[in-house]
Amino acid sequence: NRAIILKQRPVGKPTASDFEFLKDDSELTIKDGELLLETNYVSVDPYLRGRMSDAKSYIPPFEVGKPISSGIVAKVIASKHNTFKAGDYLAGMLPWKTQQISNGEGLTKVNKDLAPLSAYLGVLGLTGLTAYLGLTEIGKPKAGETIVISGAAGAVGSIVGQIAKIKGLRVIGIAGTNEKIEMLTSDFGFDAGINYNETKDMNAAIKAAAPNGVDIYFDNVGGPISDAVLFNINKFARMIICGAISVYNNTELPTGLSVQPFLVKNSALMQGFIVSNYAEKFPEATKQLASWLADEKLKYTETIVEGFDNIPSAFLDLFDGKNKGKMIVKI
């Protein structure tokens, strides 16, 4: 049995030396009410960077010397549990271990005949819920409006854009490579895309892609990309602040927004979004996502990295944009 612990809190961009692999050869034996789980798929996510620091946030930080945890799909190898049986596949937040004992709390049975197991960490998991609930609860999209999405070719962004298309919006995605832009417009039905790495004047590029202005901004990245979008918002625009990956590794506190005048003059709404605030809506939202998936109105893509050893590097690669769609490690 192997585990990955947080060796030290990263300063700036995390590196491989912030993680440590542990090995334990003792046999895992379960008691009444317990399960023995074998990890199959591990979700790596940008938000884990926040939990690696000890700054106060909406969830407690990881402890140094303890395993890191994230969304995992695991197979039940042995069970003395009332609900879950050997052979079942379960999804939930679990520590980065190859095998582990659990009392089943917080875990949900998933059906591998309904969707591939990895989908329960993406479109049918927190990723899909974040996209759907962020867009509908804060964005309140109306047909004919224009939405801009940053981090558009990532896990959340690629789903947001497709839902916005289903709702009848003009959809513009911002991402870091031409290949990603091509995927957004050709495979996912986005109306336009902007490669921020090859665009000198983002303000002008957004203006050109959104001639009627921006009604909704789904922000996954923060920083200068977001400032450029804000220069183009319409009256009563809504901005979903879902993430800010471009500043997660900053070592100094960001200075205040200088775009407030654009919010004032447009009576715009900017709201931070945390998916867990909407937990009571998860069942209904999951049902909607599964139905769009079944009807092929919603597609998804994944970048699957193989091997327990590669969990830290897959996580680090998120900050270099190595993924298209959901980054997942298959064990």
Strand partners, 194: 174
**Residues 50, 14 contacting (CB under 8 angstroms):** no
Q: State yes or no: residue 319 binds ligand NDP (CB under 6 A).
A: yes
Question: Which region holds residue 132: left if phi is over 0, alpha if psi is between -120 and 50, else beta?
Answer: alpha
Residue number, 36 or 242, with CB nearest to ligand NDP: 242
Question: Quick one: 160 exposed, middle or buried, by C-beta within 10 A (0-12, 13-18, 19+)?
Answer: buried
Q: State yes or no: residue 323 binds ligand NDP (CB under 6 A).
A: yes
Part of the chain binding ligand NDP (CB under 6 A), chosen from 70-78, 100-108, 151-159, 281-289? 151-159
Strand partners, 92: 72
Q: State yes or no: residue 61 binds ligand NDP (CB under 6 A).
A: no
What distances in angstroms separate CA 98 from CA 38, 85, 234, one per listed residue? 6, 19, 50
Among 169, 210, 318, 328, binds ligand NDP (CB under 6 A): 318
Strand partners, 5: 20, 67
Q: State yes or no: residue 328 binds ligand NDP (CB under 6 A).
A: no
Residue 43 beta carbon to ligand NDP: minimum distance, rounded to whole angstroms: 8
Q: State yes or no: residue 226 binds ligand NDP (CB under 6 A).
A: no
Part of the chain binding ligand NDP (CB under 6 A), chosen from 43-51, 161-169, 252-260, 262-270? 43-51
What distances in angstroms separate CA 64 from CA 268, 318, 330, one per listed residue? 41, 22, 25
Residue number, 35 or 159, with CB nearest to ligand NDP: 159
Site for ligand NDP in 175-204 (CB under 6 A): 175-177, 180
Site for ligand NDP in 62-121 (CB under 6 A): none
Q: Supply 265's token pair.
A: 């003059």
Q: State yes or no: residue 145 binds ligand NDP (CB under 6 A).
A: no
- Distance CA(116)–CA(121), nearest Å, equals 10
Q: State yes or no: residue 173 binds ligand NDP (CB under 6 A).
A: no
Residue 154 beta carbon to ligand NDP: minimum distance, rounded to whole angstroms: 2
Task: List the x/- string, 264-293, binding to ligand NDP by CB under 6 A.
Answer: ---------xxx------------------
Place of tokens 């590029």: 205
By three-state DSSP, how is residue 318 classified?
helix
Q: State yes or no: residue 10 binds ligand NDP (CB under 6 A).
A: no
Q: State yes or no: residue 130 binds ligand NDP (CB under 6 A).
A: yes
**Residues 89, 107 contacting (CB under 8 angstroms):** no
Part of the chain binding ligand NDP (CB under 6 A), chosen from 59-67, 87-95, 149-157, 306-314? 149-157
Instruction: Provide Rg for the chain, Cα atoms.
Output: 20
Alpha helices, DSSP H, located in 36-134? 48-52, 126-133
Residue ranges that bind ligand NDP, judged by CB under 6 A = 45-47, 126-127, 130, 151, 153-157, 175-177, 180, 220-221, 225, 242-246, 273-275, 318-319, 321, 323, 327
